Chain A
Amino acid sequence: MQNILSVQSLTKKFDDFTAVNSISFDVEAGSIFAFLGPNGAGKSTTIKMLTTVLKPTKGEIRINGFNVLKEQDEARASFGIVFQDQSLDDELTAYENMTYHAVIYKVPKKERDERIRKALEIVGLWDRQKDFVKTYSGGMKRRLEIARSLVHYPKILFLDEPTVGLDPQTRKAIWSHIQTLNKERGMTIFLTTHYMEEAEAIADKIAIIDHGKIIETGTLEEIKERNGTESLEDAFLNLTGRDIRDENGASKSKMRLMGGMHGRRRH
């Protein structure tokens, strides 16, 4: 199998903080790849670099054979993305949001209506196409974003925590849409999530990132075996520790420890 996404020693530094530290990995075409890690581990920074939103400090990314930094537009046309935060225009209707996307992705005019209709049907929103997005619930907005990302037939779909804040019914529906897309269209899926059981259920391959480094990668079985655990969640906790993280990467107990050290030095 060929690699649809290939990352070589990717690094991102913000001033003196290294958010992503020389990571390398490959994603096979047609697979579902789960990219996991605690808050502040470098997941979102990585996704931002993969999707051309953020410039890497160092490293190389190839999507569908295109160099993301040098052949930016070809790479952009090859992927779809559902961002962690909402990225719809509330003041437009669902259909208008879809049309906007189809035009800026240069979908041929005569195919546009048909593709938009199909995508909206997949996520069950065709009958609500004329409604303003501001009247949609959180789950509907998410489904609309997924539909939108399909309009230009991406080879690989990035999903950054697509089910966060949604009820179990909607989460289930969204994952089943995603699996259908993967099986029937052979679309590669790259996802991040904090729900380990979701990753466990659908991912072909899993990578775990912490403190900007990839600390584990393999299939579910391989990871469980190597860590001697029953579930992905246990393996994840063993690998990344049980401390609660801040968004900026430092763990709370580490900061407490540092505070204590300062205290001691003063006495």
Chain B
Amino acid sequence: MIEVIYILWLRQLKRYWRSKARLIGSLGQPLLFMVAFGFGFGPMYARASGGANYMDFLAPGIVSMSILFTAVFSGLEVIWDRQFGFLKETLVAPITRTEIMIGKTLGGATIAMIQGLVVFGLTYLLGFRAASFESLALGLLFMFLIALFFTGMGLTIASKMKDMHGFQLIMNFLIMPIFFLSGALFPLQDLPPAIYFISRIDPLTYGVDGLRGALTGVSTFGVYTDLVTIAALSAFICIIGALLFSKIEA
């Protein structure tokens, strides 16, 4: 059981480590966002908030963003496996679908976590600092839970998709709104009711708020509410994913 999960995990890490272009390429977006938004909106944010530093607000949001994209993409990779035939090799083996789901979730979450850590390192270059060592540890826990939830979500979606045609649909109508309405870039205050509602059912909202709360001490819902929420959601999506995965046919 453990070894099966380990080999599935190892395969994903090897693939990730070997595609250096993907590794480096995926740093471009968070870096651009941090520089463009950080320096572009920084002065405005400082004026509106009465002197607060926008980078402190933005950095946890951008770290969450890079984890979100990497995690969803890792989950959706199963669709490539299906198209290139490798999924069949795994599906006819005498292992349970739950083992496959766990191995793939942990693999994708690890990759997203690594990506998040690299981006977190970049925020340090741009002047961001965590409040204390303990807050860093709690921050890492949040990063991992965000990674876990969105890998699980990617896998759940992938178990229902036959090919990559729906990829744009998912990116533009699901992942982008999840990112923009999570409070990663701007505070979720004084919003129109519809947007307010969406932001409250957006799972990333609690991840971003928790990570920000952990690292800088400023949160809307309270760090422990966020922690319970995102942990419960992660468990939930993994169970749903495992159920759907048990029904897939190659």
Q: Do A and B form a real pair? A: yes
Q: Interface of A with B (CB < 8 Å)?
A: 48, 51-55, 72-74, 76-77, 81, 83, 85-92, 96, 99-101, 103-106, 109
The residues of B that contact A92 with a CB separation of less than 8 Å are 11, 14-15
Between A and B, 9 residue pairs with Cβ closer than 8 Å are: A52-B91, A73-B95, A76-B93, A87-B85, A89-B11, A89-B15, A103-B7, A105-B93, A109-B3
The residues of B that contact A81 with a CB separation of less than 8 Å are 92
The secondary structure that dominates the B interface is helix
Contact A73–B85 (Cβ < 8 Å): no
Contact B249–A55 (Cβ < 8 Å): yes
**Interface flag for B164 (CB, 8 Å):** no
Cβ-neighbour of A101 out of B14, B89, B249 (below 8 A): B89
| Given A53-B88, A83-B85, A86-B85, A91-B15 contact (CB < 8 Å) | yes
**Interface flag for B90 (CB, 8 Å):** yes
A103 to B14, CA, bound (A): 16
Contact A89–B91 (Cβ < 8 Å): no
**How many CB-defined contacts (below 8 Å) exist between A and B?**
69
Contact A103–B250 (Cβ < 8 Å): no
Q: How near does chain B come to A7, taking the closest CB pair, in angstroms? A: 17
| Given A89-B11, A90-B84, A91-B18, A76-B249 contact (CB < 8 Å) | no
Contact B92–A52 (Cβ < 8 Å): yes
A62 to B218, CA, bound (A): 62
CB closest chain-B residue, reference A73: B94
CB closest chain-B residue, reference A51: B92
| Given A89-B86, A105-B93, A53-B11 contact (CB < 8 Å) | no
**Interface flag for B19 (CB, 8 Å):** yes
Of B18, B89, B90, B249, most buried by chain A (CB within 10 Å of CB) is B89
Cβ-neighbour of A87 out of B4, B19, B88, B95 (below 8 A): B88
Contact B84–A100 (Cβ < 8 Å): no
CB closest chain-A residue, reference B249: A54
A87 to B250, CA, bound (A): 11
Q: How near does chain A come to B1, taking the closest CB pair, in angstroms? A: 10
Q: How near does chain A come to B97, taking the closest CB pair, in angstroms? A: 10
The residues of B that contact A104 with a CB separation of less than 8 Å are 4, 7-8, 90, 93-95
Contact A103–B3 (Cβ < 8 Å): yes
Contact A96–B250 (Cβ < 8 Å): no
Contact B86–A88 (Cβ < 8 Å): yes
A84 to B204, CA, bound (A): 42
The residues of A that contact B7 with a CB separation of less than 8 Å are 99-100, 103-104
Q: Digit string of B80-108 for contact with A (CB within 8 Å is 1, else 0)?
A: 00001110111111111000000000000
CB closest chain-B residue, reference A105: B93
A99 to B96, CA, bound (A): 18
The residues of B that contact A100 with a CB separation of less than 8 Å are 7, 11, 89
A73 to B86, CA, bound (A): 19
Cβ-neighbour of A86 out of B84, B94, B249, B250 (below 8 A): B84
Contact A77–B94 (Cβ < 8 Å): yes
A-B pairs with the 10 shortest C-beta distances?
A87-B85, A73-B94, A76-B94, A104-B93, A103-B7, A77-B94, A87-B89, A85-B85, A53-B250, A91-B15
The residues of B that contact A101 with a CB separation of less than 8 Å are 89, 93
The residues of B that contact A89 with a CB separation of less than 8 Å are 11, 15, 86
Known: A88-B89, A89-B86, A104-B8. 20 other contacts (CB 8 A): A53-B91, A55-B249, A77-B94, A83-B85, A83-B89, A85-B85, A86-B84, A86-B85, A87-B88, A87-B89, A92-B15, A96-B11, A100-B7, A100-B11, A103-B4, A104-B4, A104-B90, A104-B94, A106-B4, A109-B3
A54 to B94, CA, bound (A): 15
Contact B92–A53 (Cβ < 8 Å): yes
Residues of chain B from 9 to 28 with CB closer than 8 A to chain A in the complex: 11, 14-15, 18-19
The residues of B that contact A74 with a CB separation of less than 8 Å are 94
Q: How near does chain A come to B201, taking the closest CB pair, in angstroms? A: 35
Q: How near does chain A come to B26, taking the closest CB pair, in angstroms? A: 17
Cβ-neighbour of B86 out of A53, A55, A87 (below 8 A): A87
The residues of B that contact A51 with a CB separation of less than 8 Å are 92
A52 to B89, CA, bound (A): 12
Contact A91–B91 (Cβ < 8 Å): no
The residues of B that contact A105 with a CB separation of less than 8 Å are 93-94
The residues of B that contact A86 with a CB separation of less than 8 Å are 84-85
A52 to B97, CA, bound (A): 13
